[in-house]
A and B are shown apart, each in its own frame.
Chain A
Amino acid sequence: MTGRLGGAWSRWVAFTGEVERASVMAAFRIAVGALTLATLVHSALGDVVSTLWIDAGYGGAVALGEGPWLVALFGGPTPAVVWTVFAVACAASILVCVGAGGRVPAMVAAHTSWALTRINGSAGGGYDLLITNALFLIFVSGANRTASVDCRVRTGRWTSDDLVPAWPRRLLILQLLVMYAATGLQKGSPVWNPLGGYTALYYVLQDPNWRRFDLSWVGGYMPIVRVATAVTWHFELGAPFLFLWYWADRTRARGGWLRRALTRFDLRKVFVAIGVGLHLGVFVALDVGPFSPLSLAYYLALFSPDEWRGWWARSGRTARPASRP
């Protein structure tokens, strides 16, 4: 038993010691930095900062108390404190996006943007968590090794083939799959399952708080709505099974019927096709902030840098002749 545990631990140590090119984490860093900045700017332009993050005593809409520790430390949600934290969050997000200043901007962006959203927790959503979870993994990943200002300063070039740890990208995969599984598990209303006729999405699309436009017409397409509801719920609940595919793919050389069956086709492509479809549907029909683009940014991590590089090279080869006259 001790021997088996020791063996498993050694494999885990080796697994977490693996390295890969930084390109995927860099792309993720750029996407998350840009989306964090866009979310902040959108909050300012939409009057959220001045009404929902500033206390009623200073012109805001509601009483907010002292706010989270970072805001309370400087005197609470007054205009001066909130706008200062906001400015720091924007600056840090820009640095994350362009890859300047090393690792620190990621944690600064995470803590400042989180502090802003926690001033009024009732105005926050799942995407705030996706942002902070992402920024921490960017912080530990070395995502600035390529496609960054830091890379340019260090090497004189914008890109490099420097290697970074592979485990932060793998934790992004875990984060994504755990998010789906957890949200699926919490869909306890009967309308999400066969007993309620898989009608949940009909009700979601009729909710005036979320829909972007009048969607009463979807009532005429209930078979499609039921299929979409079923696909959504089962996709979320089934997301962790993608780990089985990763395990089977990684240990393919050991053989066995289960591995052969699981790796017959690339399950990630099915996962991506369904997931992208769901998120695009949510993005078009519902206003839930940048939840869909942020989730899709995590999808970058599903494939290794070498796989992305291979596709890029192949698409380049096929695109070049076509572009010639």
Chain B
Amino acid sequence: MSADPKPEAETSRFSRWRAAFVLFHAVSIIALALPGGLTSEKRWASKTTQRDLADWATRLREMGVETDKDSLARTLQSLAEGYTGVQRALTMPFGLYARVTLSHQGWTMFASPQRRPYELHVDGRVHDRWVPLHRPLDPEADVFDGYFEHDRVRKFTARFGKNMVEERYATFARFLAKRAFAAHRDLNRVRVSLYVYDTLPPAAAARGDRPNGTYEHALEFDREAVR
């Protein structure tokens, strides 16, 4: 980092305040970026975390460490509680500052990739036959005209797979049904559901096999009911 020094040495009060501010901001970035939410019961109970724990326990046993998923979870939760106390103390002085300057941090990106992903499926009944109205990456089933392709919509729907909030899911499903009915006059019923499956092993995926999944959280709507 080569920068020109100022022509005259700055010894003013301003330069000291500025230095203090830059230091404060730098420390705030580091402190606020410390991983948080590690004691969240929801997080520990999530299927993804449970699967990661099981995998860690298996790997550790293979390395000769006697443990199982539950005891590993207890140990890690205890460590997380201790850590969270320190993390909260470190971040506390910067809360208001982060809210004013919007220098919030939070960088949980693909921390635990879904190995049992969810797809949002929408189907409509025309007379006595169900037809797909939405499937990811399927232009043949896209009655919503690319709506689900937007990254924010992807983020929003992905949360249902990770942390289901029934009430919000039901409201969103109703909204989708309403839109589907508006787009297709011949529909008499719409079904919104989450299709869940285990990600195929690499060789099977490369062979062109399709994952076999099951439907969860299926909600059906009549045209009259969503008016």
Residues on A lying within 8 angstroms of B by beta carbon are 9, 12-20, 42-43, 46-48, 51-52, 56, 60-63, 110-111, 114, 120, 122-126, 129, 132-133, 135-136, 163, 165-167, 170-171, 173-175, 178-179, 181-183, 185-191, 195-196, 199-204, 206-211, 213-214, 216-220, 222, 225, 246, 249-250, 287-289, 304, 306-307
Query: Which of A209, A288, A304 contacts B2, CB < 8 Å?
Result: A304
Establish whether residues B136 and A208, one from each chain, have CB atoms under 8 Å apart when the complex forms.
yes
For A14, list chain B residues within 8 Å (CB): 5, 9-10
Q: Would you list which residues of chain B between 69 and 110 have a CB under 8 Å from chain A?
A: 101-110
Bound CA span A56–B173, Å: 12
CB proximity of B91 to chain A, nearest CB, Å? 13
CB proximity of B15 to chain A, nearest CB, Å? 5
For A170, list chain B residues within 8 Å (CB): 1
- Name A56's closest neighbour in chain B (CB-CB): B171
| Stretch with Cβ within 8 A of A (4 or more), from B125-133, B180-188, B196-204, B217-225 | B196-204
Establish whether residues A43 and B107, one from each chain, have CB atoms under 8 Å apart when the complex forms.
no
For B227, list chain A residues within 8 Å (CB): none
Known contacts A114-B102, A136-B102, A190-B56, A207 near B34 by CB under 8 Å: no
Establish whether residues A174 and B29, one from each chain, have CB atoms under 8 Å apart when the complex forms.
yes
Greatest chain A CB density within 10 A among B23, B26, B156, B158 is at B156
For B25, list chain A residues within 8 Å (CB): 171
A-B CB proximity, top 10 nearest: A219-B202, A220-B206, A46-B150, A219-B205, A219-B206, A132-B102, A203-B113, A289-B151, A166-B3, A209-B158
Establish whether residues A62 and B18, one from each chain, have CB atoms under 8 Å apart when the complex forms.
no
Bound CA span A110–B155, Å: 21
Bound CA span A162–B198, Å: 58
Bound CA span A32–B34, Å: 25
Establish whether residues B10 and A17, one from each chain, have CB atoms under 8 Å apart when the complex forms.
yes
Known contacts A136-B103, A219-B204, A206 near B6 by CB under 8 Å: no
Cβ-based interface call for B22 (8 A): yes
Query: Which of A126, A195, A203, A213 contacts B115, CB < 8 Å?
Result: A203
Bound CA span A218–B199, Å: 13
Known contacts A46-B153, A48-B153, A63-B171, A306 near B2 by CB under 8 Å: yes
Bound CA span A314–B105, Å: 38
Known contacts A18-B3, A208-B119, A182 near B102 by CB under 8 Å: no
Instruction: Give how many A-B residue pairs fall within 8 Å (CB-CB).
Output: 234
Establish whether residues A220 and B175, one from each chain, have CB atoms under 8 Å apart when the complex forms.
no
Establish whether residues B6 and A19, one from each chain, have CB atoms under 8 Å apart when the complex forms.
yes
Establish whether residues A178 and B30, one from each chain, have CB atoms under 8 Å apart when the complex forms.
yes
13 contacts between A and B (CB under 8 A): A12-B23, A61-B172, A61-B175, A122-B159, A123-B153, A129-B106, A136-B102, A191-B115, A209-B119, A209-B157, A219-B204, A249-B1, A287-B151
For A123, list chain B residues within 8 Å (CB): 152-153, 155-156
- Name B202's closest neighbour in chain A (CB-CB): A219
CB proximity of A207 to chain B, nearest CB, Å? 5
- Name B158's closest neighbour in chain A (CB-CB): A209
Interface size for chain B: under 10, 10 to 19, 20 to 34, or 35 or more residues? 35 or more
Q: Would you list which residues of chain B between 32 and 83 have a CB under 8 Å from chain A?
A: 33-35, 48, 52, 55-56, 59
CB proximity of A89 to chain B, nearest CB, Å? 13
Establish whether residues B105 and A182, one from each chain, have CB atoms under 8 Å apart when the complex forms.
yes
Bound CA span A188–B51, Å: 12
Cβ-based interface call for B114 (8 A): yes
Known contacts A62-B171, A190-B55, A52 near B156 by CB under 8 Å: yes
Bound CA span A31–B176, Å: 36
Establish whether residues A181 and B55, one from each chain, have CB atoms under 8 Å apart when the complex forms.
no
Bound CA span A230–B3, Å: 35
Query: Which of A13, A43, A114, A183 contacts B152, CB < 8 Å?
Result: A43
Query: Which of B29, B48, B200 contacts A178, CB < 8 Å?
Result: B29
For A203, list chain B residues within 8 Å (CB): 113-115, 199
- Name B169's closest neighbour in chain A (CB-CB): A62
Query: Which of B55, B107, B112, B175 contacts A62, CB < 8 Å?
Result: B175
For A136, list chain B residues within 8 Å (CB): 101-103
Known contacts A17-B18, A182-B107, A189 near B52 by CB under 8 Å: yes
Bound CA span A43–B147, Å: 11
Bound CA span A132–B101, Å: 8
Known contacts A174-B26, A191-B115, A307 near B175 by CB under 8 Å: no
For B171, list chain A residues within 8 Å (CB): 56, 61-63
For B151, list chain A residues within 8 Å (CB): 125, 287-289
Cβ-based interface call for B161 (8 A): yes
For A166, list chain B residues within 8 Å (CB): 1, 3
Bound CA span A43–B149, Å: 11
Query: Which of A42, A47, A111, A200 contacts B147, CB < 8 Å?
Result: A47
Bound CA span A304–B151, Å: 33
Known contacts A178-B30, A187-B110, A216 near B119 by CB under 8 Å: no
